[in-house]
Structure 1
């Protein structure tokens, strides 16, 4: 949404964190499959692709579709995991199912949907034009020594 408004995309940690992105249509299909799979009753099943995808890669896909997209370097927030991927072994064996929508296709679908559904952009979002600068100002290292707070 930010890129569609011409705003910079902050890439925390240069976008090196990875996530296992699964398209909402695939997630819904997996859940429906689990509801009818006899072996799925009472089982914990991860739904995912099993493939790690970097945040930077997703941002670059966005830029392929919206070439004016700019990135802004930002530090990694405290507690933000470097990432991982879902273990899809049980999903594959119990459900006999695999997701079919790649990250590239998912991003393209989302951007196409957003173009024909501009009302999906919250009214407050365009006003956040300077959020990257504000975020950086709040998180820049202090030049003076910090006082230690009592425990």
Structure 2
């Protein structure tokens, strides 16, 4: 959320280590759907199932998608914090086999949905971040 609000307020997005870390990003609606499917799937009882997309997405890619929504977005490359993992992504074979399901919301669509929600719900931007934006503008 902070990144979207930061970009909406015109503040730069900080890309630690250039944003090359990899994450498996899944939309909360897909997580909810997977959870319900796991509760009712007969084969899911006593199983451990990774819920994810199985797709590696770099933090830089997400930043670029955010910038598509907020064209004034600037990036600032910062050093990689100690201990920040380079990341990974989920193995989803069991999820597909046991739940008979795969996520349907792409990262690009998720970013668009969230920015649309934030435009309708500006009060969701924390006061401390608004103050930081106002201080930067002064």
**TM-score normalised per structure 1:** 0.83
Find the counterpart in structure 2 of residue 143 from structure 1. none
Counterparts of 1:13-28 in structure 2, within 5 Å, are 13-28=17-32
User: Is 2:114 aligned against 1:110?
Assistant: yes
Q: Which runs of 5+ in 2 are unaligned?
A: none
Counterparts of 1:1-151 in structure 2, within 5 Å, are 1-129=5-133
CA shift, 1:41, in A, is 1.0
Matched residue SS, 2:127: coil
Q: Larger relative contact order (C-alpha < 8 A, sep ≥ 6)? A: 2
User: What whole-Å deviation, never above 9, does each CA across 1:26-67 have from its counterpart, x for those lacking one?
Assistant: 000000100000111111111000000000000001111110
Q: What is the alpha-carbon distance in structure 2 between the residues aligned to residue 25 and residue 128 of structure 1?
A: 31
CA shift, 1:128, in A, is 3.3
Which of the pair has more CA radius of gyration? 1
Q: How many residues align?
A: 130
Q: What is the alpha-carbon distance in structure 1 between the residues aligned to residue 18 and residue 123 of structure 2?
A: 30
Query: Measured at CA, do residues 79 and 129 of structure 1 come closer, stay the same or move farther in structure 2, by a change above 3 Å?
Result: farther
Matched residue SS, 2:48: coil
User: What whole-Å deviation, never above 9, does each CA across 1:77-96 have from its counterpart, x for those lacking one?
Assistant: 11110010001111001000
RMSD of aligned Cα (Å): 1.2
CA shift, 1:129, in A, is 4.2
CA shift, 1:127, in A, is 2.7
Q: What is the alpha-carbon distance in structure 2 between the residues aligned to residue 129 and residue 115 of structure 1?
A: 17
Q: What is the alpha-carbon distance in structure 1 between the residues aligned to residue 132 and residue 24 of structure 2?
A: 28
